[in-house]
Structure 1
Amino acid sequence: MREPFETVALGAAPVVAAPDGSAVRPLCVIPGAGSFANFRLDAGEVAKAVVHRTVQEIWYVVGGAGTMWRRAGDITETVDLYPGVCVTIPLGTHFQFRAAVAEPLEVVAATMPPWPVDSPDEATVVTGPWKPTF
């Protein structure tokens, strides 16, 4: 039986490569509801542009600076990312993000439903505005 609670320290979480190339530390999961993770791009890095198949996300910037591009249908937006900024990535949104040249970018994110760890096709690479570094 699964324990009713989960506690994960950031430093103890494994670092894995997200489909967009960023370094991700998966943290806690509530099965069927959502998952939480920490994402990082080093200074000057640019993630691949992707679209998710089944999940949507809410991101909160905790450190550094960068930029995020999002497109949903005919609506396109590019926003600056810095500590205290919160952004949504609704289902079906194409998005790409990059870290500032002078400093890394670090965000925490909630994914709903939980990220499907056994689904290699959850994120599909799409065309974004910037050339990825991965």
Structure 2
Amino acid sequence: MAAALRVAIGLLVRKLRQAHLPGELTIAETSALSRLDRGGPATSSDMAKQDRISPQSMGATLAALEQRGLIERRRDPADGRRVVLSITAAGRQLVNDRRGARSELIAAALRDGFTAAERDLLLAAAPLLERLAERL
């Protein structure tokens, strides 16, 4: 079961990543922007630790996002030596647009290639897959 799930989920993730969407970001940029959207403001070093990448790699990713106006840097009000990064309105809009576009790709595939009973099974499995991901 573990191998079958790994193969199926891996294929699904690869197909979603391969889908070209307007305003395409790299995987690292997508991860960083999504993290700021979900988790709120953070420092570059905290984000590097969470993604388990070097501070230099995270710095390059964040610089690219900042150059596109998707994130902004501000001094930490509690500690003026620290810089905190936040998602901008444009960044939040891009994240929402990308999520919506990928959800629509999945919805179209479900409409065109699955019966109502199969869609119900997938819907019932979704919380289990989410719980599995949280336990990894």
TM-score by length of 2: 0.24
TM-score (normalised: structure 1): 0.24
Q: Which structure has the greater CA radius of gyration?
A: 2
Asked which structure has the greater RCO (Cα within 8 Å, sep 6+), the reply is 1
